[in-house]
């Protein structure tokens, strides 16, 4: 249904953003710059950028009708094919804007979905992106069927149009249900694979970070893998797991993940849960940060927000500041290392300081080589849940009002459990 065909000619696009209450012009500028990168990644040529200051989006057109009319008049000599908005549009807004502008209207969510559709290679990735596209499409089918009323209107067009719309809705809903069943099968397979890895009692580290932070390049450096590592957004969609043996003989499984993004569509997170479960189930998170990016703090916050949504925030995490070879101010390294104790700074592209990363991994996983035993009262349900969430439980037995637990736990949690240690 969503086959990606090569573009014959490059699309020419105008980007539109809104400076709303609570959004500074600097935040809007950065968001629009990211939208430009997304449009370029999708294969569009950005002709111009338009912004408007409003307290909140208008219900009919998102921007003011007068502003939309001015934008339409600016199209005359520019051969504009697409208009891309920085936020998600409602079905009504998209329909009204297409009628007014007489151009293809996209929002940020559609743009990201299109990039994912281009990049997905595995069957799992294609299933996940098709599910996200269909979930986005379902409430917008009415907009797609408006051509019936525009052709002739009046008698003879109402009934069949409505009937066909209902048929399409039912087909989309049936396809969504089928995709969800297939992806549930994928999740079960991944669960079996994780259980197999746990039998070896090897820790699993998920490499997370903002898109284009250098995650695949880092994985290639550490494991000698041949993952695609390109300087563009969402170069990696399909998760890859590789084996790494540290100098102290500790074995570690590293899993690359899809890059995160500000305003990452919720439908995408839901659809990619089969993949993103690798993050919530990992024993260690390796958070790769592009230190050379001017909005590094916002990138860190965006990644933390997604890990919270996945139920993985608070896990044992090693922050890796990457791309130090691209820094203009070397003092940033020490500034951020002080802000994030235990972090390391490297260049995955050149291999600079990679030895400090390997040592940090050995330190982070030092407790993994030791089994800890605890006798925790059942009344401490939150603490028992925390052991399961950020530790690795080897044995669990119940005795009267206590849980007897044998587990690998990170150092900070072991200190917290000190009074329950056997």
Per-residue confidence (pLDDT) for residue 144, from 0 to 100: 55
Which residue in 399, 395, 385, 400 sits closest to 417, CA to CA? 385
pLDDT classification of 7: cutoffs 50, 70, 90: very low
Place of tokens 């990606």: 4
> What does the pLDDT average to over 406-411?
77
Tell me, which fold does domain 11-119 have in CATH? Rossmann fold (3.40.50)
Per-residue confidence (pLDDT) for residue 198, from 0 to 100: 58
pLDDT higher than 60, residue 401: yes
pLDDT higher than 60, residue 122: yes
Indicate the domain borders of the chain. Answer: 11-119, 120-196, 200-367, 370-420
pLDDT higher than 50, residue 254: yes
pLDDT classification of 346: cutoffs 50, 70, 90: very high
Q: Can you tell me whether residue 392 is helix, strand or coil?
A: strand
Any idea which of 62-71, 93-102, 202-211, 327-336 has the lowest mean pLDDT? 202-211
Q: How far apart are CA 349 and CA 159, in angstroms?
A: 61
Percent of residues, the chain, with pLDDT higher than 90: 26
Between 2 and 23, the more confident residue is 23
* Sheet arrangement for strand 372-377: 372-377, 402-408, 392-399
- Measured in degrees and rounded to the nearest 5, phi and psi for residue 239 equal -65, 145
pLDDT higher than 90, residue 273: no
Per-residue confidence (pLDDT) for residue 14, from 0 to 100: 94
| C-alpha distances out from residue 327 to 293, 323, 338, 345, 347, Å | 9, 7, 17, 11, 10
Per-residue confidence (pLDDT) for residue 339, from 0 to 100: 95
pLDDT classification of 372: cutoffs 50, 70, 90: confident
> What does the pLDDT average to over 158-170?
64
Tens digits of residue pLDDT in 274-294: 667 778 778 889 999 999 998
Q: How far apart are CA 208 and CA 261, in angstroms?
A: 11
CA atoms within a 13 Å half-sphere pointing along the CA-CB vector of 114: 17
pLDDT classification of 60: cutoffs 50, 70, 90: very high
Per-residue confidence (pLDDT) for residue 392, from 0 to 100: 73
Residue 146 burial (CB count, 10 A): 13
pLDDT higher than 90, residue 340: yes
Is 99:65 a contact under the CB 8 Å cutoff? no
- Measured in degrees and rounded to the nearest 5, phi and psi for residue 67 equal -65, -40
Is 228:216 a contact under the CB 8 Å cutoff? yes
pLDDT higher than 70, residue 227: no
Between 154 and 177, the more confident residue is 177
Residues 6+ apart with CB under 8 A from 408: 201, 203, 283, 367, 368, 370, 371, 372, 391, 392, 394
* Sheet arrangement for strand 251-256: 240-245, 251-256, 204-209, 284-290, 317-322, 344-345
Choose the most confident range, by mean pLDDT, from 110-124, 258-272, 322-336, 403-417: 322-336
Residues 6+ apart with CB under 8 A from 244: 222, 223, 251, 252, 253, 254
* Alpha helices by DSSP H, 120-244: 123-137, 141-144, 147-151, 158-199, 215-223
- Name the pairing type of β-strands 402-408 and 82-85: unpaired
Per-residue confidence (pLDDT) for residue 384, from 0 to 100: 87
Q: Which CATH superfamily is domain 200-367 in?
A: P-loop containing nucleotide triphosphate hydrolases (3.40.50.300)
Structure tokens, 282? 């990992």
Mean pLDDT taken over the chain: 81
Per-residue confidence (pLDDT) for residue 158, from 0 to 100: 46
Choose the most confident range, by mean pLDDT, from 198-202, 223-227, 300-304: 300-304
Per-residue confidence (pLDDT) for residue 352, from 0 to 100: 93
Tens digits of residue pLDDT in 9-46: 578 999 999 998 888 888 888 889 989 988 988 889 99
Tens digits of residue pLDDT in 353-368: 999 999 999 888 876 6
Q: Can you tell me whether residue 312 is helix, strand or coil?
A: coil
Per-residue confidence (pLDDT) for residue 271, from 0 to 100: 64
Let me know if the fold of 11-119 is the same as that of 200-367. Answer: yes
pLDDT higher than 90, residue 149: no
Per-residue confidence (pLDDT) for residue 17, from 0 to 100: 93
Q: How far apart are CA 141 and CA 168, in angstroms?
A: 8
pLDDT classification of 143: cutoffs 50, 70, 90: low
């Amino acid at each position: 249904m969503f086959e990606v065909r090569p573009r014959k000619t490059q699309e020419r696009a105008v980007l539109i953003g809104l400076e709303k209450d609570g959004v500074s012009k600097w935040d809007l500028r950065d968001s629009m710059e990211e939208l430009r990168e997304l449009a370029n990644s999708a294969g569009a040529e950005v002709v111009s950028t338009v912004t408007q200051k409003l307290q909140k989006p208008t219900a009919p057109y998102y921007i003011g009708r007068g502003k939309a009319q001015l934008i339409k008049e600016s199209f005359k000599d520019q051969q504009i094919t697409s208009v891309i908005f920085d936020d998600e549009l409602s079905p009504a807004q998209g329909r009204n804007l297409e009628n007014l502008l007489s151009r293809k209207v996209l929002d940020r969510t559609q743009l990201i979905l299109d990039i994912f559709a281009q990049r997905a290679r595995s069957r799992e990735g294609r299933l996940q992106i098709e599910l996200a596209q269909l979930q986005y499409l379902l409430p917008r089918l009415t907009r797609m069927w408006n051509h019936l009323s525009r052709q002739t209107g009046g008698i003879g067009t109402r009934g069949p149009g409505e009937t066909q719309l209902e048929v399409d809705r039912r087909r989309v809903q049936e396809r969504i249900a089928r995709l969800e069943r297939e992806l549930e099968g994928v999740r079960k397979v991944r669960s079996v694979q994780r259980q197999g890895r746990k039998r070896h009692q090897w820790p699993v580290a998920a490499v997370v970070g903002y898109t284009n932070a250098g995650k695949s390049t880092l994985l290639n450096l550490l494991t000698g893998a041949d993952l695609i590592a390109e300087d563009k957004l969402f170069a990696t969609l399909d998760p890859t797991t590789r084996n790494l043996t540290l100098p102290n003989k500790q074995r570690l499984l590293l899993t690359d993940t899809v890059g995160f993004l500000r305003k990452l569509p919720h439908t995408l997170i839901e659809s990619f849960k089969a993949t993103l479960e690798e993050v919530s189930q990992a024993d260690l998170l390796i958070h790769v940060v592009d230190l050379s990016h001017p909005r590094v703090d916002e990138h860190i916050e965006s990644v933390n927000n997604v890990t919270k949504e996945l139920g993985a925030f608070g896990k044992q995490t090693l922050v890796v500041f990457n791309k130090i070879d691209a820094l203009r101010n070397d003092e940033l390294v020490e500034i951020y290392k002080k802000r994030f104790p235990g972090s390391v700074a490297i260049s995955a592209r050149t291999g600079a300081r990679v030895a400090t990363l390997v040592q940090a991994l050995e330190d982070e996983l030092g407790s993994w080589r030791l089994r800890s035993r605890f006798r925790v009262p059942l009344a401490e349900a939150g603490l028992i849940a925390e052991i399961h969430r950020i530790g690795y439980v080897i044995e669990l037995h119940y005795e009267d009002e206590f849980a007897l637990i044998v587990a690998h736990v990170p150092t900070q949690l072991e200190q917290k459990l000190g009074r329950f240690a056997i």
